[in-house]
Structure 1
């Protein structure tokens, strides 16, 4: 990944890991997570979704900070029997997002890993001072996503 550098710090590179426990069967979680077009129904920070083709969708996201991200997700892997999903991202963020589902007593654990580079000029320019805010913004967005999906599935 590339990014602005000061010493060994790569201000525009981000790696996020989230784990969600959802009291729902794996097939229901998988179905909801692969159905990008319906994300705005349960994830308030996903403002719109436009289907580009059978494997690609463009999402417009805005969390707590006053900027929007336009991100294209292109399906790289979708294997329900193995509980694996992976998409390539481009647009205001470039990189990948992978998800793994694991059956657990009383529901499903969803592990999400994102490795991205911020390409949006605003984010790149402010990253040296605002990186902690960007990480917090992401954490709040993921929290609202988990709560929204939890409500959607129950």
Structure 2
């Protein structure tokens, strides 16, 4: 087992139609306005950006995101990640009840040296940290969508 390799899946039920949710997720520069753990996003042209995140544990992760797929008709946004974490992340937004379901998938390898050294004893904490971050993101986006 590679202790520095992670796969994540989060499902967000949201109170807005697919196009509205997709548009909100597409605007990465707005993430810090509704997602507390996304501390900073800097656009690097039309198809890339630098993101800095920090959740409950006292470390920042910084990665460059490069667009791999943007398909509004299919509700898919996918990026390649490089930096403190390398891999990919994908949003897929589909209709659900009276709103939408945003499916977040991520597969990454941790590259940040400190986190690599703490891979075995810290793995459960890192996974819990990610869960808390995703929970806060869902709440923040749901609140933002309700306010619009």
Normalised by the length of structure 1, the TM-score is 0.93
Q: Aligned partners of 1:70, 1:137: CA distance in 2, in Å? A: 16
CA deviation after TM superposition for structure 1 residue 104, in Å: 1.6
2:90 to 98, 113, 130: 98
Which contiguous aligned blocks of 4+ residues in structure 1 show a shift greater than 3 angstroms? none
Structure-1 separation of matches of 2:48 and 2:74: 21
Please, which runs of 5 or more residues in structure 1 have no aligned partner? 1-8
Tell me how far 1:105 sits from its aligned partner. 1.8
1:22 has 2:6 as partner: no
Q: What's the Cα RMSD here?
A: 0.6
Count matched residues: 146
Instruction: Pick the aligned partner of 1:144 from 117, 132, 136.
Output: 136
Q: Which residue is 1:111 aligned to?
A: 103
Q: Does residue 37 of structure 1 match 2:38?
A: no
Tell me, what secondary structure is at the counterpart of 2:55?
coil
Aligned residue for 1:80? Answer: 72
